[in-house]
Structure 1
Amino acid sequence: MSMTAIIGGTGLTDLDGLNIQREEVLETCWGAVSAPVLIGDFHGHEIVFLARHAQDHSLPPHKINYRANIQALELLGVDRIIAVNAVGGITEGMCGGVICIPDQIIDYTSNREHTFFSDDFEVTNHIDFTMPYDEKLRQSLIQGAIQVGLNIRQGGVYGCFNGPRLETAAEIRRMERDGCDLTGMTGMPEAALARELGLSYASICLVVNRAAGKADGEITIDGIRQVLVEGMQKVRQLIEASLVLIR
């Protein structure tokens, strides 16, 4: 039986509407998972939910144990992951409140444990990462958005930055030259780890602010929070609509 996991990011530390049937507090060979994993019914669909930053949002992006999180989901029988990411918007039109389903990633992170094969590597462990997001799962998200009338961006390049600080204006200009539409801090190595374990993976990105040098004035946490409240309601609606379409 196939099962879908939702990894919630900033603004989605719980999934409103999830009828929790059980919790799993897991410890993997890579260490502890970010939070208790919740298994339950979400509008008629059995799903697994994990709060990436912990339930109290105490884990910054560079401290998340991505390997433990992805390993735990696989151990629970998950075969596909919908990741929710709060991001900054770089290119024109990527403003606060926009939802994007990215199709590419550029990884700018460093000093993160980014593979399951660091200690026991074989030549067959080279994964094909040409298309970092699963296209079938991406299309389910896109079609779900269309069915409920959500205006989304159907593709884009996610640039993953280390954090926890926000980027400088010069760094954003560099990312834009590289082709990035979005900037975030949690997209990698999460996507690559899922690919290493053979799990389908796609992302719903909610733009919560214009990136450094693109915004009018200072980027504030209060401003980001305001966008998160309304935006995550749309994300939940999108997830519900998409689950019907996933096969």
Structure 2
Amino acid sequence: MKEQAVQTSPRADVGVFGGSGFYALADGAETWEADTPWGPPSAPVTIADVGGVRVAFLPRHGVDHRYPPHRVNYRANVDAMRSLGVRALVSPFAAGSLRPEIRPGEFVVCDQLVDRTWGRPSTFYDAFDDGPVHVPFAEPYDPRLRRVLLDAAAETGVTAHDGGTVVVVNGPRFSTRAESRWHRESGWHVVNMTQSPEAPLAMEAGIPFAGIALVTDYDAGLDEDPDVPPVTDAAVFAVFEANLHKVRELLHAAVPRLAQVTGPAGT
């Protein structure tokens, strides 16, 4: 891993990445302009008190969604959270459902990931200066954080599926019908464009990580229901916007317990 830049940074207990249409978490936040060995993150980090816990929020696509998924500086984003000392990192993301029983407006607290991206810097280790480093990645999502998110979903009345595999495609285009059918037949549950390399980078950084999908569509459609149209940008943003309050409610309920599960910042 590159030697970290020397800088004075604030501290936070929990980190949250914002996704499509999710550009702010709480009012009254302080702003930190992060600098990392991999350049600046997608946007300034905002840090606010949520239930007595310091939460750092960073919209992965920028505050105006300027960065498409294959151009997000994932290394800078994760390293900024590492610099803040966060001990839990939660990654809400928009996703297309690959299964009829997982409906738009519902959530999936994923437990597995399949990476089909290419051309993205996906590791902090560009050289093995101190010897080989191959990080175990059999379990990409922290089970403790997953449990907290599922409990918070139940308390806030949000429908959240316990477990599921997200297949990560490069984007920014959506899947063809053949690709979507392949993903479904492979046994995967939702499709997204940003969970990798976020998840492996968090693992390398030693930050417990959880991804929670907000289902916005049925990807390229459902073979068993020809009336289901393929996904569009407009549909994704409309469903996400209509359900954004659920994301915020779930996170506000989960944050205090996320900090308890993982300990205070810097430990």
TM-score range, shorter chain: over 0.9
1:66 aligned residue: 74
1:12 aligned residue: 22
Out of 234, 237, 246, the position equivalent to 2:246 is 234
Q: CA deviation at 1:93?
A: 1.5
Deviation readout 1:187-229 (Å, 9 max, x if unpaired)? 0010000000110000111011111132722422222222112
Report the AA paired with residue 171 of structure 1: E
Equivalent position SS for 2:196: coil
Equivalent position SS for 1:188: helix
Equivalent position SS for 2:152: helix
Q: Structure 2: which 5+ residue stretches go unaligned?
A: 1-10, 261-267
Deviation readout 1:147-186 (Å, 9 max, x if unpaired)? 2222211110000000000011111111112221000000
Is the 2:108–2:160 contact (alpha carbons within 8 Å) kept by the matching residues of 1?
yes
1:225 aligned residue: 237
Out of 24, 33, 41, the position equivalent to 1:33 is 41
Is the 1:85–1:204 contact (alpha carbons within 8 Å) kept by the matching residues of 2?
yes
Report the AA paired with residue 150 of structure 2: I
In structure 1, C-alpha distance between the alignment counterparts of 2:65 and 2:80, rounded to whole Å: 19
Q: CA deviation at 1:8?
A: 0.4
- Normalising by structure 1, what TM-score? 0.94
In structure 2, C-alpha distance between the alignment counterparts of 1:148 and 1:97, rounded to whole Å: 14
More strand by share: 1
Out of 152, 159, 162, the position equivalent to 2:170 is 162
Is the 1:134–1:200 contact (alpha carbons within 8 Å) kept by the matching residues of 2?
yes
2:221 aligned residue: 213
Moved more, 120-129 or 100-109: 120-129
Residue 117 (1) aligns with residue 117 (2): no
Question: Runs of 4+ in structure 1 displaced over 3 angstroms?
Answer: 121-124
1:203 aligned residue: 211
State percent identity of aligned pairs: 35
Q: Structure 1: which 5+ residue stretches go unaligned?
A: none
Equivalent position SS for 2:110: coil
Is the 2:94–2:236 contact (alpha carbons within 8 Å) kept by the matching residues of 1?
no
Is the 1:87–1:207 contact (alpha carbons within 8 Å) kept by the matching residues of 2?
yes
Residue 179 (1) aligns with residue 187 (2): yes
In structure 2, C-alpha distance between the alignment counterparts of 1:71 and 1:189, rounded to whole Å: 12
Report the AA paired with residue 241 of structure 1: A
Is the 2:19–2:94 contact (alpha carbons within 8 Å) kept by the matching residues of 1?
yes
In structure 1, C-alpha distance between the alignment counterparts of 2:57 and 2:157, rounded to whole Å: 25
Is the 2:13–2:53 contact (alpha carbons within 8 Å) kept by the matching residues of 1?
no
Q: CA deviation at 1:238?
A: 0.6
In structure 2, C-alpha distance between the alignment counterparts of 1:32 and 1:136, rounded to whole Å: 30
- Normalising by structure 2, what TM-score? 0.87
Report the AA paired with residue 201 of structure 2: L
2:6 aligned residue: none
Equivalent position SS for 2:28: strand
Is the 1:62–1:164 contact (alpha carbons within 8 Å) kept by the matching residues of 2?
yes
